[in-house]
Amino acid sequence: MSSEDVEIKDAINGRPLLPKGKDSNEVLSQGSDSSGRDSPVVNVDDQRETWGRKADFMLSCVGYAVGLGNIWRFPYLCYANGGGAFLIPYLIMLVICGMPMFYMELAAGQYFSLGPIGVWGSICPLFKGIGMASIVVSFLVCIYYNVIIAWCLYFLAISFRSEVLWKHCNNWWNTDNCYEGRLPDAKNCASMINATINATVAGGNITNCTSINTKDLTSPSLEFWNHYVLEISDGIGNPGIVKWELFLCLVIAWIGIYFCMWKGVKSSGKVVYFTATFPYVVLFILFIRGVTFPGANIGIEYYLTPKWEKLKDPKVWVAAATQIFYSLGIGFGSLVAMGSYNKFHNNIFRDAVTISIINCATSVFAGFVVFSTLGFMSYTLNKPIEEVAGSGPGLVFVVYPQAIAQMPVSPVWAILFFIMILTLGLDSQFGMMEAVITGLVDEYKILNKRKELFVAATCLLCFLPGITHVTQGTLPRCCLHGEPTKEEPMS
């Protein structure tokens, strides 16, 4: 029987074709593992590790897909693009775009048992650049994503006190515009001549508000974020000094990432048992607490009330497709890398569908948690939902902390919330780091002999440019409080 006939027979039997120039003596034939299932084709000299258990893979993928975007991006997009009506284009894009792409990347990694560069190179040598590009993108994202994790660590550390620091306006970092309490009914305070407002500002009680415009007032949490945590300078051209507290948190974050990744999927696959499940525990607790708040129904109504006319707007459909790709993490090479550690005959189609549904269901559920709390803020501060709703880091580090400050035993809620955000960020970081490490180790086999050292070098290379993000001239202002606007374009 010729080699071509053998390859055809192998293909019919569901086995991957042998690499060119190699015979069956260089590659293990299909065998069986202890469970009786077929094991993947592996090289004798360089046997590829696999996930310890199926749950390791599933939780890693769920943790990677269910990230910060599910909390700080989807709820606002849903509210801003038609409320409940947005779920129609969202689910359609999930079925026709998200699931097929998600399945394709996982299946390609599982079939070839290679990282992004190897998979695309096996399909067509010219396509290796696609795999390299995905690794470069993941590497760049890892640089600033761990900065967000460092912010979470910092907020978590300072939450262990009797009262959260961002509750009042009587601190050294507050300005005269700092305002805590319930706003008056008038939109512009100038219409309330010689009125007394039951609230506190940095300078004390307001007794004559003819010169006060409520639109200029800022919350304690916003001033704490800008003037204490970040100490934002005039701009990126004036970097200022490195914030040593954030620098220390960044160091701790990268050390944690290293020790979770240094043994490959054998180590990261165990960490996700906590990091991928704990966010659901906290989300459920916050949901129960949120729906019991006064005004929670206001926020949920804003979140779900359908605006059917929005479905005629192409921008809504673009937003739905963008969120699907953003949330599922398609195109970063992470899914290819994680799928490559599966056994060859794993039912990856079922896994892809299950993970996609879990991811999208989590986004919808997170919307109830976020908007029940925003409704409470709207009621407490006497502001319309439009003025308290937000997205991006501003929701996590400004808006939600402001709501937490209004709760009884606020430090406890702050600790739970920031542990949840921390674990969500870690899982996504694991996936992107896996894309970089697996892609390069599979392409350059010599790196596998010193994998622990290579992982350390990769973490260091990501850490060094990340230091620029913990200076006073940190990220552009448009990136700190949510989506970029026409007035604040993304540069």
66 is in an annotated binding site: yes
242 is in an annotated binding site: no
The predicted model scores a pTM of 0.81
Strand partners, 181: 199
- 286-292 — which CB contacts under 8 Å span 24+ positions? 286/369, 286/373, 286/413, 286/416, 286/417, 286/420, 287/365, 287/368, 287/369, 287/372, 289/407, 289/413, 290/368, 290/369, 290/372, 290/373, 290/376, 291/368, 291/372
pLDDT of residue 181: 66
Q: Hey, what are 154's tokens? A: 């910092």
Helices (H), 159-264: 220-223, 244-261
DSSP class of residue 125 equals G
134 is in an annotated binding site: no
138 is in an annotated binding site: no
| Separation between Cα atoms, residue 167 and residue 154, nearest integer Å | 17
> Which residue shows structure tokens 């407002």?
197
| Separation between Cα atoms, residue 150 and residue 160, nearest integer Å | 16
pLDDT of residue 457: 96
pLDDT of residue 474: 62
pLDDT of residue 236: 63
| Separation between Cα atoms, residue 358 and residue 64, nearest integer Å | 12
426 is in an annotated binding site: no
How many helices (H) and strands (E) in the chain? 22, 2
Count of residues in the chain: 491
63 is in an annotated binding site: yes
Q: In degrees rounded to 5, what are phi and psi of residue 415?
A: -60, -50
pLDDT of residue 367: 92
454: closest CA among 436, 474, 476?
A: 436
Q: In degrees rounded to 5, what are phi and psi of residue 487?
A: -75, -25
427 is in an annotated binding site: yes
> Which residue shows structure tokens 């600033």?
144
pLDDT of residue 142: 95
| Separation between Cα atoms, residue 469 and residue 463, nearest integer Å | 10
DSSP class of residue 45 equals T
pLDDT of residue 129: 93
User: How high is the mean pLDDT in each 10-residue block of the chain (491 residues)?
Assistant: 48 44 39 41 58 93 93 88 92 95 96 94 93 95 93 95 90 85 50 43 47 66 88 70 92 96 89 95 93 90 90 94 93 95 94 96 94 87 77 82 89 95 94 95 90 95 93 58 35 30
| Separation between Cα atoms, residue 93 and residue 324, nearest integer Å | 7
